[in-house]
Structures are given as C-alpha cells and as structure tokens.
Amino acid sequence: MKHSRREWFRVGLHAAVAPTIMIPKASAYDIQEIEGKLESGTGIAGVTKNDLPTPSLLLDLDAFESNIRRMADHASENGLDLRPHAKTHKCSEIATRQVGAGALGVCVATIREAEAMAAAGIGGLLLTSESVGLNKIHRLMRLCKRRPDTMAVVDHPSNAAELDEAAGSAGVRLNVLVDVDPLGRRTGIPPGSDAVALAETVDRLANLSLKGVHGYCGASSHVKGFEDRKRHSEKYMGPVLESHAAMVRKGLPVEIMSGASTGTYNIDSALEGMTELQVGSYALMDVDYRVIGGRGGEVYDDFGNALHVLATVISKNHDDIATVDAGLKAFATDRSFGPDVARPAGLTYAFRGDEHGALTLADSEREIVLGDKIELVVPHCDPNVNLYDRMYCVRGDYVQQVWKIDARGHV
Amino acid sequence: MKHSRREWFRVGLHAAVAPTIMIPKASAYDIQEIEGKLESGTGIAGVTKNDLPTPSLLLDLDAFESNIRRMADHASENGLDLRPHAKTHKCSEIATRQVGAGALGVCVATIREAEAMAAAGIGGLLLTSESVGLNKIHRLMRLCKRRPDTMAVVDHPSNAAELDEAAGSAGVRLNVLVDVDPLGRRTGIPPGSDAVALAETVDRLANLSLKGVHGYCGASSHVKGFEDRKRHSEKYMGPVLESHAAMVRKGLPVEIMSGASTGTYNIDSALEGMTELQVGSYALMDVDYRVIGGRGGEVYDDFGNALHVLATVISKNHDDIATVDAGLKAFATDRSFGPDVARPAGLTYAFRGDEHGALTLADSEREIVLGDKIELVVPHCDPNVNLYDRMYCVRGDYVQQVWKIDARGHV
C-alpha cells in the first residue's frame, strides 16, 4: 500500500500499531523477569500472552487437562493400561500429569527421552525403538541400573544376543518386548513363526526378561474416516495379535501387548489381546489429526487443540497480506499443509521462508496491524514441539507456568 | 526376509552386526566421556564417528574451512564487505571463524540469535528482521547498550517512531537500515518514493542513526541455472539499488547497501552500489543449493557440503530396505526432497515417520547390516541445524571438537 500523506503525519502516534502491545509499563516485563516469575511459581498475575517473546509455544491448560482426563477415562473404562507416548511432548511435566491421571509410565522413542524422563522421576519407561550400536546400548544399560522396570524392544536375534551380552556385563536384567511389524516394514520382525521364534530366543537368553509384544501400526493412525481406519487397523494388527496369542499358547511370559495411536485408540482398545495403549498426540493434538474424521463426523474432535504457536505481525506494508515472525523454523513442515490460524478468525497462513509467514487478510474478522498477536494450530504436534525449548502454559490470556521441553535435542 | 535356521544358530555371534560397532573396549567411551573430552580440548585421539550418539550433526572441518576462505576471498577480491548470515548456523564458534577470516560481523534473523552472538563476543551485528512488539524492542535496546554498533532494520514509519521512542527512553542511539522489499512482499517497504521518505523519516528521528539500506531477494537465491538467476536478481534488486542511489543523491547517510544470498553472491557482487554481502548457506551447504546450477555447470559446487547427519541402521529385517534412527525430527522437511546419502554409496533415503528413515539397498556399494553408520547430506541447512543442540566437528573419521549451536531455540 502507498503511505498517504496523512499516515506520514501520524508518525510518532503509533497509529498503525496494535493496542495489544500498548500494555501499561507495569506489565512490560523483561524476558528474564517473565521467565523468573514463571519458573518460581504458578499463576503470575499480570503476565499475559502479550508479554511473551514470539514465536513461542502455548499450551492451553484447559484443553490439555481435558485431553489427559478423557484418555485416562477411556483406558480405564476399557480395562486397559495406559502408557502414553512421550515422544509427542518430550516434556516431563506433561508425563508427570499423565502418570498422575493413572498412566503406568510413558513410552519413549529415544534413549535421550528415556534419560530425561528418568531424571524427572518418571518410571515405567518403554523404549519403542530398537537399541542398536554401542552408544545406545551402553546408555540403555545405565538406565536399567537406575530404573530396573525399563523395557526395550527387539526385532532381530543378533540384537537380542548383543543386548543379552551387554546386560550380563552390566549386571542388569533387561525387560524386553518383541517388536512385531504390522507390515509397516519400518521396524519390527514380521508376524508369524519368526516373531514367535524371536520371543523364544529372548526368553532363553540369561540376562533378558521377556515381557510381551510391541506392535505399532503407524500407517493406520491417519487413515481418513472412522470405518476405513477401523478396517485398516484390524487388518494389520490382526497378525500381530495372532503372533502374541501364539506366544501365549506356548506358555511364554508375554503379559504385555502394547500398541495403538491417537487415531485408533477407540478401535484398538476393542482388539482381542491388547493390554495397553501407547497413544501420544491426544495430549496436544494438531491439524493433522483434526482432518482424519471421528466416530461421529468429519472432524476428529475427541480431543481438543491444546498446542498453539504465538506469533507477532512484524511487517504490514500491503492491504492484502501481513507478515508474522513464525516461519519454517517455527512449525513442523513434514505435512502438505501448514498451520491453521486459531485467532483472530478469518486469516490463512502460508510459509514465507525460515523466519516468516504471510497472513492473507481478505476475510479477517478485524483489521490486522503491526504488533498484533496471532495464534496458530500446529500442523503436526510431535516435530513441532521438537523445535522449542519450553512451552508457556496459559488459561485464557494469562500465563500460568513455563514447562521445559526437557527431553528434546538429540544426543 | 525369513530368518534361516543357520541364522538362528548364529545368535550370540554378532554375525549380522556391523564391524564398525565392534570397536575395542578402550574406545567405547561413555557419552559423558566423549562430551567431556571433546569440550576440554581439540583433537581427541581415538574418538571417531562410531563413538557418537545418533542421529547427530557432523561438520566436516576441511570442507567448512575451505568454504569460509573461498567466500572471504571472493568478497575481498570484489572490494565488498562481508557480514555472513548467522541464521544459517546459529553457532558462535562458526561466527568467530567467519569474523577471523575477515567478516565485519554477522547478520542475525532474531533477537535471540543477536543476544547469543553478543554473549560470545561477536560484534557488528545486523538484525535483518523487523523489531516489532514490546519484547523484541526491549531486548534490542538492551543489546544496543552492550553493543552500540548493532544495526536494526525498519520497514514502516510507525515502527521507526516506536524504536525512536524506545531508544530515547533507554538512552541509546539505534543504527538503522531501511529494509527495502525487492517485490517479495514479505518484509520491507516497496522501493521508490516510499522507501526514500522512510529513510528521511529515520534520518530526522533524534535517537535513530540512518546507516543504509537492506534489500534481500530470497526469491532469487534458488532460481535454477546461473543465467536465469542472474536475470532474476538484476531485475528485482534493480529498484532497491535505485532507491539506495536516490537516498545517496539526497545526501542521506546511507553508506551501507546490504544484500545477496549464497545463490547470488557472484551475481550481486557485480551490482552497482552494493557494499556488503550477507550470504549464509555457503558455510555449510545442502542438497537445496547443489541443484540450482553453478556458473560452470549443472551442479552448484562453488562450496562443498560440510554438514551431514550421522545415523545408525537400527532395523534390518528385509533384503531390500534397512531402517535408520533419523526421521522427520532429524532433518529439515520444508523441501519436496529429503536428504541425500553421502556414505555408503548407492543408497537412497525416504522418511518413515518422526524417528525413522528407510534406506533402499538395491544399488548399495556393500552389504548393509545392523549398526552401520550412514552419513546424509541435509536437504536445507538452516532449519536442519535448528533441530540440533551441537555439532560434532570431524576430520576424516576423527572427531576434533564439539560446538554448541548456542543461538538456537526460540525466546
């Protein structure tokens, strides 16, 4: 847009600046002050979303707490154990609340996540990726010394032998689930006689304790439409459950049959033989899950969107678009879609490089001006959380706490 | 693949485990030992890539040092200043080496990056995104007190007024470049009379010091083919340079004309009026830049691939594929392509979820077994670095140092 003469005269009057940033000096906290206040206690009166740096990650506590409760209720009503997957949130504060709501412990995808959860006092850890190579195995053994109830997965006899040898050297007994592949060809041994033979091998090895079967069908979780998703999960989980049943018939100690995703939690809980759910995304939710369709309709709304990115409008030189300070480094980009704008209504977002996004303004519910705060629903929660070091927990506009994403970061 | 009877017998013999992980116990360092050794000095004899946790980020020092030297030579031969963009690497160790090779300082995209660079003793900072909103402005002022040579960009008169007021309150004088938009419609004021008027406004404001023009044409950087890219950059940078020239003719103090990317470094350095280059990716490189074509041919090889992700084969139950421990959380996913496999030769990689990738083995130069280490060229360097907390610097197979990616993380 051309700047009119009148606009030039307004320089110094903040005419085009959002009222939201014109908060009283009293609440214009320094970032260290905000962090200090938030880390020292709960419910800091006066710290609002407008005080926060951007881009930042917001956790809506009302939606989050409702999600945690709802899944815990579902598991308990169906007589299943719940061991939610912490790879979604990488946050021991969230894991603590999941355990507080009745979970046995949490699943983790990496040894780094396992170490962070253990450091925060979370037990009942199930590491759902194979531990191969000296570094992972060495750290797994150290973890088992600290947390003897830790469980690992195995999908190959040579890895079982290696873990047995390492456990023997370390003087620990490693709990093992046989990872059976529901035809995803990612990790896991194929169902059937090979899987049963691997369970027998694990059971024979002196320093391993066979505990059950792990079977995760990632391909089912995002199948659109509840009935199609149900058919998909039943088809691919069937052989896994049959392998588990065969182990039971052989008298192998396979008390645990772990699986399911947020997309199939109310499908897999009805599968014969399943003993625990390892659902993850339900705690936070994202655009990706909203569109798969629920039991009742086209939108999957069993759980609410609890995770948003907060951004600031930092450039506004055109009538039709505005630029925010959140781009490719602020969002997961592994899906074909970007984030949805939650607030204000009527805006659409498009990536504009590493640090920027463009808002299309044509249908905006109100005028968008420099300094406006924008809240966006993340496209895919797991990799989105992985980009941030902390999440700001809010009720309405007020910030209550800051939680470290203490299990993020590789190594 | 079905496990043969013979294979079952080999359990315990590590027959299917890579020789690379069978390193002598003497070098089987604990991860804390590795980190401690690497952080305490340079060139730890015996720590190799095989000792590292995976997925992890490797910096090939030979390629990196050659890239740094080559760009510094190019700038100096063309009589231009060099202020490399640290948004690419977010690593003050790299910035220190860029400054050591002759750079004036570094560009940064966020106030967080600026703070981290200043904390590490790097001066000559140019913050290339607009500072809008109380949080960013407050922190910018604090930074200016510490580093009075810091420069910020402005693309709107109301933001100029706001910065002037904040600088007055803080008792600092803020150096400003007018951000002129080469028709990217992302940030920047359109070229022409509006841009010149904004420069005059900045020059009039008591607490701002006009220093020049910032014009970054992101759309040019990845245009395929050298000649097409040259035409593109000349077309869109033309009006920016003309705006700068108009400011010069008016006697405005615009000594600096900053722009260019790794894709256009040897194009924009010939543009009349350009005074400094803010190239970033050249230090690390990625798949994205390799394919744009160079002056001499189809592959852009002016700079070498210095950045790799190291992964481990953690599942191998099929003849045609193997699974590694690096997936959507280990790589930038904003491009239509994934990483290239650098070593071993003949492999291709595909994403298989948050923590996993699948290697296609048909054309592999050798048999791939459990525990094998795989090196992959990152798809897009900036967001890829942003996923990691440190990079391991290597010469050949040996790890020399570990550098913190100290400017990553939002807030």
Could you read off the pLDDT of A102-156 as tens digits, one per residue?
Answer: 999 999 999 999 999 999 999 999 999 999 998 899 999 999 999 999 999 999 9
Question: Chain B residue with minimal CA distance to A55?
Answer: B410
The alpha-carbon gap from A198 to the nearest alpha carbon of chain B, in Å, equals: 9
**For the ranges A25-29, B131-135, B309-313, which has the lowest average pLDDT?**
A25-29
Q: Is residue B294 part of a domain?
A: no
Q: Is residue A210 part of a domain?
A: yes
pLDDT attached to residue B39: 65
Same structural domain, A208 and A327: no
pLDDT attached to residue B13: 31
Residue B154 with chain A: CB contacts under 8 Å: none
pLDDT attached to residue B29: 63
Pick from A159, A189, A361 the residue to mutate for testing the B interface (most B CBs within 10 Å): A159
- How does residue B8 score in pLDDT terms, banded at 50, 70 and 90? very low
- As a whole number of angstroms, the distance between CA A114 and CA B204 comes to 58
pLDDT tens readout for residues B377-401: 999 999 999 999 999 999 998 888 8
Q: Which of B184, B194, B332 sits opposite A3 (nearest CB)?
A: B194
Same structural domain, A76 and A203: yes
Segment A259-288 shows an average pLDDT of 97
- Chains A and B: how many Cβ contacts under 8 Å? 275
Segment A219-229 shows an average pLDDT of 96
Which of helix, strand or coil describes residue A374?
A: strand
Residue contact A134–B50, C-beta within 8 A:
yes
CB-CB contact of B280 with B382 (8 Å) = yes
CATH assignment at residue A163: 3.20.20.10
Same structural domain, A42 and A121: no
Among B286, B320, B338, give the residue marking a domain's end: B286
Long-range contacts of the stretch B40-46 (C-beta < 8 A, 24+): B42/B400, B42/B401, B43/B398, B43/B400, B43/B401, B44/B399, B44/B400, B45/B398
Q: What is the pTM of this model?
A: 0.92
Place of tokens 């002196």: A206
pLDDT tens readout for residues A81-97: 999 999 999 999 999 99
Q: Where are the alpha helices (DSSP H) in A192-278?
A: 193-204, 218-221, 226-249, 265-268
Omega prior to B55 cis, within 30 of 0? yes
pLDDT tens readout for residues A18-34: 444 433 333 456 666 77
* ipTM of the modeled complex: 0.91
Residue contact B161–A14, C-beta within 8 A:
yes
pLDDT attached to residue A93: 98
For residue B275, give both structure tokens: 């005074």
| CA atoms B11, A187, B54, A146: torsion sign | negative
Residue A85: exposed, middle, or buried by beta-carbon count in 10 A (0-12, 13-18, 19+)? Answer: buried
For chain B, give the mean pLDDT: 91
Which backbone phi and psi does A40 adopt, to 5 degrees?
Answer: -85, -15
**pLDDT at B373 exceeding the cut of 90:** yes
**pLDDT at A59 exceeding the cut of 80:** yes
Q: Is residue B297 part of a domain?
A: no
Segment A205-227 shows an average pLDDT of 96
For chain A, give the mean pLDDT: 91
Q: Is residue B247 part of a domain?
A: yes
Same structural domain, B340 and B389: yes
Same structural domain, B206 and B154: yes
Q: How far is CA B146 from CA A194, B126, B172, in A?
A: 65, 14, 10
Q: Is residue B142 part of a domain?
A: yes
- As a whole number of angstroms, the distance between CA A308 and CA A284 comes to 9
Same structural domain, B56 and B67: no
Residue B19: exposed, middle, or buried by beta-carbon count in 10 A (0-12, 13-18, 19+)? Answer: exposed
Segment B340-363 shows an average pLDDT of 97
Q: Is residue A297 part of a domain?
A: no
Segment B28-50 shows an average pLDDT of 67
Same structural domain, B115 and B185: yes
Segment A332-340 shows an average pLDDT of 96
Same structural domain, A154 and A281: yes
Structural domains counted in chain A: 2
Same structural domain, A73 and A54: no
Q: At what angle do helices B134-146 and B111-119 cross, to 10 degrees?
A: 20
DSSP labels for A300-360? --SS---EEEEEEEEE--SSSEEEES--TTTS---SSS-PEEEESTT-EEEE-SSS-EEEE
Residue B11 with chain A: CB contacts under 8 Å: 157-158, 160-161, 201
Segment B291-296 shows an average pLDDT of 92
pLDDT attached to residue A16: 45
Q: Is residue B292 part of a domain?
A: no
Q: Is residue A293 part of a domain?
A: no
Same structural domain, A100 and A235: yes
The one-letter code for the residue type at A235 is K
**pLDDT at B3 exceeding the cut of 70:** no
Among A233, A253, A285, give the residue marking a domain's end: A285
Neighbours of B107 (CB within 10 A): 31
Same structural domain, A35 and A111: no
CATH assignment at residue A309: 2.40.37.20
User: Which residue range is the domain that position B41 belongs to?
Assistant: 5-60+302-404
**How many C-alpha atoms does A96 have within 13 Å on its Cβ side?**
12
**pLDDT at B25 exceeding the cut of 60:** no
Segment B149-174 shows an average pLDDT of 97
Q: Which of B134, B321, B370 sits opposite A132 (nearest CB)?
A: B370
Which backbone phi and psi does A334 adopt, to 5 degrees?
Answer: -85, -5
Neighbours of B301 (CB within 10 A): 13
pLDDT attached to residue B63: 98
CB-CB contact of A101 with A72 (8 Å) = yes
pLDDT attached to residue B48: 87
Omega prior to A190 cis, within 30 of 0? no
Among A228, A255, A285, give the residue marking a domain's end: A285
pLDDT attached to residue A383: 96
CB-CB contact of A152 with A175 (8 Å) = yes
Same structural domain, A327 and A208: no
Which of these, A397, A398, A321, A388, lies nearest to A360 by C-alpha position? A321
**pLDDT at B15 exceeding the cut of 90:** no
Q: At what angle do helices A226-249 and A193-204 cross, to 10 degrees?
A: 50
Segment A262-289 shows an average pLDDT of 97
DSSP 8-state symbol, B346 = T
- As a whole number of angstroms, the distance between CA A156 and CA B62 comes to 38
pLDDT attached to residue B108: 98
Residue contact B30–A332, C-beta within 8 A:
no
pLDDT attached to residue A42: 47
Place of tokens 């088809």: A235
